[in-house]
Every structure is written in structure tokens, then in C-alpha cells.
Chains A and B, each alone.
Chain A
Amino acid sequence: MSKKILLQHINVPGIHTLETYVAHGGYQSLKKAFSMSPDEVTEEVKKSGLRGRGGAGFPTGMKWSFLDKKSEKPRYLVCNADESEPGTFKDRYLMQHIPHALIEGMITSSYALGARTSYIYVRGEMMNVIQILEKAIQESYKAGYLGNNILGSNYSLDLYVHPGGGAYICGEETALLESLEGKRGNPRNKPPFPAVWGLYGCPTVVNNVETIADVPWIVNNGGEAYAAIGVGKSTGTKLISACGNINKPGVYEIELGVTVEDFIYSDQYCGGIPNGKKLKAVVAGGSSVPILPAELILRTINGEPRLMTYESLSDGGFVSGTMLGSGGFIVYDEDQCIVRNLWNFTRFYHHESCGQCSPCREGTGWMEKVLHRIEYGHGKMSDIDLLVDIAKKIEGKTICPLGEAAAWPVASAIRHFRHEFEEHVRNPESCCKRHLHRSMELVH
């Protein structure tokens, strides 16, 4: 059984209430943190090797140390709970079941950063999560963990939940800040980065839910203990939301370093693929990371077993590798159509582009239309190269990473499954048959 940090008490009845949470060791990190200086807490996080769990995997301690400490302005900690990437649902699960884990993390992290006001920006669609968090925050205020002079430490913190308007783009940190300020959720041009010019022009740190929820354990047990879990630079545990053609979809906490094969086939995790079907492909870290065919996701190009770590999954670059990303693990069996899947993803990015910069605004829609054509039997052979070219002209030319998020799945699907696209173009009638088949399935 691998080590659990976040989900250790997930099955305890009533763990969402403060009382039960405290009875199981909750809010211990506050006293420990207040006995340390803020910089010492940051130092522990640095030592832990904790990396951003939202997708980019940037070292959290380093991000904290970039915060402009010379500035006279107030500092803010903002928690990015705008989880909306297709295939990723780990933060929602955590907030829904153990809201106090996030709140405790927010308090210790805010203390380390010297923030007096902090925000949790929650995706608007997750109204129930917002209600759960609001209730938990009220409990926390009543118990004296939030508000003025927390536990007699002279440290005061106010914590607010802010519901988003339901835009994927507001998960991009600067768009999130714009939205939090009450403006249209357009990403900002960087630099300046939020550490210097963030919320209301003040130094701000934006962290993912899971990242912040990891901090109390690090404070309680020390950074070195956390760094001892995992492999190499991928330390600690990670929540993986597994879905697709697997026997046991759900959220799993894994020690970084589990092999991908183990994760898919062992009963402890996904439990293999239903009906004895073969594995076809995996999207390992949310819809925006490159898709990999079975042989490349199980083993790297050098034949080594692929591990669930930042480094191992990105081994081989984008030619033969992918990314750990946000941990949205989507499994496809041999019956699934890569073209249809890609069209679905691209439709999402087209719908969610903010429309601010030209390559993403126009390119995502164009790719969707071309893919729709191929999928529905009206494609041409030249369309495949056209898609590759459009993706290339979006990637790296946009204000924010949504451009890349839209371009990578297209480029990787064609890189690894070109024959399937060609098959669609060559046999337009087979496409229609597949759709007929699918709609029959729905009827029965």
C-alpha cells in the first residue's frame, strides 16, 4: 500500500466537518508553523521538492521565494480551484470530501508568504464545492483558525471563496487574477509575473489546490520526510484522476514513481481494462498533454518502464514522451477512435479560447472545423498536414498556454496515429457506419 498524505482519512465518516478533521490530526500544522518564522516554512517547502500540482510542475518553494518581499504592498495567496481540464477531477474530489485540508494549507501557506487576505477561486460550475468550502471556512473562523490573532500568534488571516463564471481560461493564473478583480477573464501578458504584479497589482502567489493541501504535511513532518517519498525530483504523492476504459475509475493518491503499467493494471488502482480489451492509448495528464500509444506509455523509447513521475513521463520530449500535467489520466481501449476524441478535445479548446490573441482565437476554431470534416467523412489527405501546420502556428505564439494546450493534442495525435486519420479520409463511409453504430448503442 503506497503512502497516503492527502487521502489518508478519506473514508472516515464526517471528515468534512471540523470536529472529525481535528480528531484525525487536522490543524496541527498551524502551531508548528507559528513556532517557525515564515521564511523557515518556505525553506521546508523548498526542501520538500514539492512541485506545482496544477500541471506545469514548477517547484513551489522556488515560486514562493520569487514573491517580491521588498514591496510595501500587501501580498496575496490565491488558490487556483478552477479545475476544468477534461479528464481532471482531483481537486474537486479533495475539496468536496476534505475541505479543511485545503483551508489548513491556505492558512500555513499564507503565513509563510505573509499574506493577510487569501482567496480560493473555485470554478463556477462546482456550486456544491463552493457551499462546502463556505461552510468549512465558517467552522474554521468559529474555532479561531481564521480571523484575527489566530491561536494567539498575532497572525491574522481572512479567507474568501470566490466563484468563477465558468470559463476554463480563468484557470490560467493571470486570467484568474483578472477575473478575481472583477474584470473580463483575459490572460495578461507576462512579464510581469504575478509574484511581482499580481492581484490588484500586488505581489501574489497562485497555487493549485493539491499543492496547498500538501503544505501542512510538509510543515508537520519536515521537508526532508516529504522529499524521501517519490523518485528523484518528483517527490511526494500525487492525486491522479483516472477515467476512460478502466475497471475502476476514480481519484487515486499515488507515490510518484509507480510504473504506468502498474497503475493501469493493478487492482490497487485502475484495475485493468474492461472486457479483456487491449490498451490503445493514454492521455496521461489532462486533455492538453500529448496522447501516447500503448507501447510508448508503458515503456520509454529506450525500453525502460515508464514511471508516474514528471521526468519519466516527459522522457523523449514530445517526440515519444508526454507530461504528468495535472494528473488527469484518460485510458483508451482498442475500440476508441482517436480522431473523434481529438475532435472532441479541440472543440473544447475552441469553445474556451478567450479570443484575445489572434492565433488561438482563429486557430482553435479552424482546427475544430477541419477535424469535424475528417471525422464526418468529408476530409482530404491535405487536411492532415494542414492541421499539423495550424498547430505549429499556434504553439508558442500566444499570450497564454491555452494555445499550446490546444496545439499539443493535435500535433501528438497525428504524430502517433496518422494512419487513423488517413483511414478516415480514405473510407468516408466507414465513418458514417461508426456513428450509426454509436447511436445504436445509445438507443439500446
Chain B
Amino acid sequence: MNNLKVTIDGKSIEVPPGTTILQAARMIGENYPPAMCYYTPLKETGGKCRVCLVKVTQGSEANPRPMPKLVASCLTRVEHGMVIENETSPEVLEARKGVVEFLLINHPLDCPVCDQAGECDLQNLSYKHGTESTRYEEGRREFDKIDLGENIQLHMTRCILCYRCVYTADQLTNKRVHGVINRGDVSEISTYIQNAIDNDFSGNIIDVCPVGALTDKKYRFKQRVWFSKPFYAHRECDKCKGEAVAWVKNNDVIRVTARKNKFGEVLDFICNNCRFEHKNMNDWTIGEPYEMDNDSVITTNKYKVLDHSPAVNVDAKFVSE
């Protein structure tokens, strides 16, 4: 079949049939819509967070009518001749601002004590699309603590209910023991009968979590992410590929995560053995510094600077930016 031509914010690209608007925008490569719930490696994700809403001003060449409502770009497939407004549409930006506000009204905003801070999608999203102050005056929602076992810490108050961890458990592990219970703004991720989430690949729910709701218990409060240095690391593993990122501080591996692409999506899921049990430099073949080129608060290259230069240069780099 012929490729389909789509125009997003004035930039055109030809994509194969079946491509979604979000994927097409990512192919263009700049100012693509954010995504808090959609996750390419996991099937059936998307459509829930509503931050990727875009405006379709021309449905297709054959049927040029605009779509009446904003559509979720992660699920809407492109048609030939489709014209889409993302960041050029005030309506889209306003809607996105609204969704960010909704995501934050019950979020505890405990970034200063949250392990995810610095690599948090919600943080990045609110820097770009949020407002400086809140209009919410009511009490914030709280949940009872649920113990997920010795490796994973659940902070339900920080959860934005993207369902990614549910799909991860469904598609990666042999048995899902956690899920979403209850309804509305009190729905929560829970194991229901207080089971530990314990299987070879359960640790990946930490990596797919866009916020600090699921964090690594063994890394908890050890270090701010921007003070540790990530390196490509590899080891022989019979359960997974053994390709990971080792986060190093003072010649200690303080944390192991999966490698991600520029959209924050895991390339190869790693096993719990690699993630939680190998925290020695000798366990890993350490390679190049790991580059992150997404829009994170701790973006690429700063680690390289950290690695070779005194701290004062880091400050200079921040200033020059």
C-alpha cells in the first residue's frame, strides 16, 4: 500500500498505513505530543491520560471535514491528506494545560523527597504545559499503604493511573497479581490481597511508571538521580539480554535500569536478577556513558561533563544554556 501523507503543525511526512498521529509526529521528531499512558512496547496502552490530544483540522483528502472533538493522537490512525494541529493550536494547548492541572490536583507534589524526581514524566510535562500555581484548594487524596514486597515500593498518591504497570504484568510476566481496584478518583493500583509482586520480570513496572508511584526499594533515598552517572552496562544473563544501564556513584552501582529510547520507552525489558541482585561494578561490563536525549530535566551530556570536569564547569554549562 502507498504511504500516507500527513501534515502536523505545518510539517509534512509520509508514513505507512496504520501509523498513529503520535508515531507520525515522533517521526517528524520535534514538538511531538507528550504521552503519559501510551507505551509503544506494550499493547493496548494509550487513550487514558488525554495529554496527547490534538486537533484534526482536515480528516483526510477524501473526506476533508475536521474532526469535531480533539482526538487522542496515540490511538488515532492517520489518513492520507490528514492535517493536524498540535502545538500550533491554542485549543490543544489549553486542553493540555487542563489535563496537566487535573493530573496535579491530587498529586502530592513531593518531588523533593521523590526518587523519580529528575526523570519524572509528570515533572517534565508540568514544566512544559503546566501553570505556576494551582487553583485547587481542597484536600488531596490519600491512600492506605500497600506492601508489594522487598523490591518495589508503591506510592499510590503519586499514581496517575496510566495502567502501564498493569499491561506490563499482563504481557511480560506469567501471572498478574496486581491491578486497578475501586472506581473514579479513588481507584488505585493494588494487589488486593496484599500479595508481593514477585516474579522474574516484575521490576519492569518500575521502569514503565511515568511518575514516582513505583520505585526501586533498594535504591530508595540513596541518591538524587542527577548525582549518579549512568553507563551502558552488560552482563551474561540466562533470563534476559543482560543489556541495561548501571547508575554509578563512587564506583558503586547503586541502581540498574533498562535502556530507554528518546521517548522514555524501554528497549529491552530486563529481569529482576539483573536489576536488583547485581550491584557490584565487577558484575557488569561497563561501557560508554549512557546518553539520554529526551526532554528530561537531566538531559544528555551533563553526565559527561560531570564525569571529567570539576563541578564548577557544570554550573557554567547550566548558565550558558
List the interface of chain A (C-beta within 8 A of B). 167, 169, 184, 189, 350-359, 361-366, 369-370, 386, 392-393, 396-399
Bound together, the chains give a CA A353 to CA B160 distance in angstroms of 15
Contact of A386 among B98, B135, B184 (CB under 8 A): B135
- B residues in contact (CB < 8 Å) with A: 46-51, 53, 69-70, 72, 75, 94-95, 98-99, 101-103, 105-106, 135-136, 138, 160-161, 163, 179-180, 182-187
B interface secondary structure, majority: loop
Closest 5 CB pairs of A and B: A393-B98, A355-B187, A362-B102, A189-B47, A353-B184
- The 15 sampled A-B contact pairs (Cβ below 8 Å) are A167-B183, A189-B72, A189-B75, A350-B184, A355-B182, A356-B161, A357-B47, A357-B48, A358-B48, A358-B99, A358-B102, A361-B161, A363-B102, A393-B95, A397-B98
Are B160 and A396 interface neighbours, CB within 8 A? no
In the complex, are the beta carbons of B138 and A358 less than 8 A apart?
Answer: no
Given the complex of chains A and B, what is the CA–CA distance between A169 and B106 in angstroms?
22
Give chain A residues whose Cβ lies under 8 Å from the Cβ of B101.
393
Contact across chains for A359 and B102 when beta carbons are under 8 A apart? yes
Excluding A355-B161, A355-B180, A397-B95, 18 further A-B contacts by CB distance (< 8 Å) are A184-B180, A350-B185, A351-B184, A354-B183, A356-B48, A358-B160, A359-B50, A359-B99, A362-B102, A362-B185, A364-B184, A392-B98, A393-B95, A393-B99, A397-B50, A397-B70, A397-B98, A399-B50
* Closest chain A CB from B108 CB (angstroms): 14
Contact of A355 among B49, B53, B70, B184 (CB under 8 A): B184
Nearest CB in chain B: distance from A382 CB, A = 8
The answer to whether A358 and B50 have CB atoms under 8 Å apart is: yes
Q: Give min CB distance, B106 to chain A, whole Å.
A: 6
Closest B residue to A189 by beta carbon equals: B47
Residues of A within 8 A of B69 (CB): 396-397
- Complex Cα distance, B94 from A354, in Å, reads 24
Q: How many whole Å from B102's CB to the nearest CB in chain A?
A: 4
Query: Is B136's CB under 8 angstroms from A366's CB?
Result: yes
Residue of B nearest to A380 (CB): B137
Chain A residues closer than 8 Å to B50, beta-carbon distance:
357-359, 397-399
Distance (whole angstroms) from the CB of A310 to the closest CB of chain B:
19
Distance A138 CA – B302 CA, assembled complex (angstroms): 74
Q: How far is the CB of B29 from chain A (nearest CB, A)?
A: 26
Distance between Cα atoms of A51 and B69 in the complex (Å)? 23
The residues of B that contact A397 with a CB separation of less than 8 Å are: 50, 53, 69-70, 95, 98-99
In the assembled complex, the Cα of A392 lies from the Cα of B135 at a distance in Å of: 15
Most interface-central of B50, B69, B106, B163 (chain A CB within 10 A): B50
B184 near A354 with CB under 8 A, answer yes
Closest-CB distance, B17 to chain A (whole angstroms) = 15
Inter-chain contacts of B99 with A (CB < 8 A): 358-359, 393, 397
With a CB–CB cut-off of 8 A, which chain A residues contact B186?
Answer: 355
- Distance between A64 CB and nearest chain B CB, rounded to angstroms: 23
CB closest residue in chain B, given A363: B102
A353 touches B72 (CB 8 A): no
Q: Which residues of A contact B51 (CB under 8 A)?
A: 358
- The answer to whether B47 touches A364 (Cβ under 8 A) is no
- Expressed in whole angstroms, the minimum distance between the Cβ of A307 and any Cβ of chain B is 27
- In the bound complex, do residue A362 and residue B106 qualify as a contact, i.e. CB atoms below 8 Å apart? yes
Chain A residues within 8 Å of B47, by CB: 189, 357, 399
